[in-house]
Chain A
Amino acid sequence: MSTSTIHDIGYRHYDGRRNGRAYVLRSLYVHSLRAAFGLGRPARAKVMPFILAAIMMLPAAGSVAVFAVTKEEDVLMRYSSYAPTLQVIIAIFLATQAPVLASRELRFHVVPLYFSRPVGHLDFVLAKIAAMTSALFALIAVPVTVLYVGGLVTKVPHSADQLGRYLAALVGCALFALVLAAIGMVVAAFTPRRGFGVAAVIAVFMLSSTLVLVVQGIAESETNFTLSGWAGLFAPFNLVDTVQVRLLNAEKSSVQVAPGLKGGVVALAMCAAIVFGSVAVLYRRFRKAGLS
């Protein structure tokens, strides 16, 4: 027989102001965005993102410099072709940094610690995707802006025309960033082992682009340009390029893009499906990880 009593040992409730959902979102977003460039972490984590960002700047700076000397308009890269041309570098950046954002907490089983605080599952996922998207957007849009501003300074003809194309390219950059981040985060979230996440993300990009190139090569040799265009929808960079060409009036940078306005609309719908699908998948993934 035991007699037990509950003692009031004077724990106090928190009565202060609560910062709310927006504050949670913003804190997670800022933290993830810093992590995407290795800020707030040892120098070893900063080296690669900044080297890759520097490589991204080189072609823009180089072509502006060459234009300043030669004044030949051809040497300036097209704004909309910047991301497709440098897709390998962008893919490597995504592959190295997506696991930093998406798989570290999973690897060390610390996701439940987040959700023991007032953090919603959806907010957590949205903040992470938004951070990865912003990082990629910065990676792509900064060199494009350098290209545009450099062109203005060195007096490229038709500056009104340039502005239109530049703004369209920025929309394209945002779409690139969104789609790539969505794909990269999902793949990284399912391969938490160190090194595997990087390889898995890059594998998705390399395999899809090589596969599509092979199919397009065969289709073009049979002069079946329609098939070649539709096949392009299955490589991420080619997919977004289709939207750029068909809906944003850019010149094509890929081998072939899906024909007509319909191609553009289908491509845009696929982009939307990828983004929403990835949010849904990540939501389920982190919800499950948060329970264990």
Chain B
Amino acid sequence: MNSTIAMITFRAMLGRRRALLLLALPLVLLVLAAVLRYTGNNDLDISADVLQKFGLATLLPLLALIAGTGVIGPEIDDGQIMYVLTKPIPRQVVVLTKLAVAIVLVAVFAVVPTLLAGMVLTGSTAGMAPAFTAGVLVGGVTYSAVFVALAVASRNAVTIGLLYALVWESLLGNFAPGAKSASIQQWALSVTDAMTSATPVKSTVDLAVAVPLLIVVSLGGTLLAAYRLRSLSVAHAE
């Protein structure tokens, strides 16, 4: 970890109006939760549906994509990464620092709001709020690792990430069960499933399979990012 790199990255991610964008996404979830609570539409089925569809399947991938690709992608694109890489700092430290920043951002803007929304919707019924919080947290770590690796490996990282998160996980998941099982979203849901007794939460993947997969994919992403950054060729700006 390198505190200077972390600070610069935080400033790049949150400076000016960018924090507002990151803040707007979880705010929608919180407002929705508050409205549902106020209108009395917060039984267990609806709450689980909202937390899963909105928190886990929409908010989390979007935020992880913004954070994961945003911490390193723009710097590589405009060549500023050179100023970091030419300092005597090991590349894996650079990658780990960037990843840590991404995870902190996801934790602040996705995990905490999920916990709050869960509390607003269900209180402590069936342990749903902490279960979804844990699911979003482990999912967030894995998503971040994957998207950081993607940002180092490709210039089209954001689009590829979107295709994965929206087309592979959501769209194809409805037609091909195989695609559904091979998705971070389902693995994270499996963690949630194991932690709550609520029946509406159902994952297609067993916990015994999901946890190793989450760990392997997170580590794999981090290693790939570190490896690709070691031999990064910086092209000139378009």
Tell me the A residues contacting B by CB distance below 8 Å: 41-42, 44-45, 47-48, 88-89, 91-92, 95-96, 190-191, 193-196, 198-200, 202-203, 206-207, 210-211, 213-214, 217-218
Contact = CB atoms under 8 A, between A and B. Distances in A.
A191 B32 CA distance: 25
B171 interface: yes
A202 B156 contact: no
Interface in B141-175: 155-159, 162-163, 166-167, 170-171
Given A191-B21, A193-B18, A207-B25, A214 B53 contact: yes
A88 B173 CA distance: 14
Nearest to A92: B162
A96 B77 CA distance: 15
A47 B160 CA distance: 11
Given A203-B62, A214-B49, A195 B74 contact: yes
Nearest to A210: B58
B48 to A, nearest CB: 12
B78 to A, nearest CB: 7
A89 B167 contact: yes
A196 B36 CA distance: 30
Contacts of B36: 218
A92 B58 contact: no
Interface of B: 17-18, 21, 24-25, 28, 32, 36, 41, 46, 49-50, 53-54, 57-58, 62, 65-66, 69-70, 73-74, 77-78, 155-159, 162-163, 166-167, 170-171, 238
A65 B14 CA distance: 50
Given A45-B238, A214-B50, A217-B49, A195 B166 contact: no
Contacts of A190: 17
A48 B159 contact: yes
B170 A88 contact: yes
Given A92-B162, A92-B163, A194-B78, A42 B66 contact: no
B171 A48 contact: no
B69 A195 contact: yes
Given A92-B166, A214-B50, A198 B58 contact: no
Contacts of A210: 53-54, 57-58
A195 B73 contact: yes
Given A88-B166, A195-B66, 13 more contacts: A88-B170, A92-B159, A92-B162, A193-B18, A194-B77, A195-B158, A196-B66, A196-B70, A206-B62, A207-B58, A214-B53, A217-B46, A218-B41
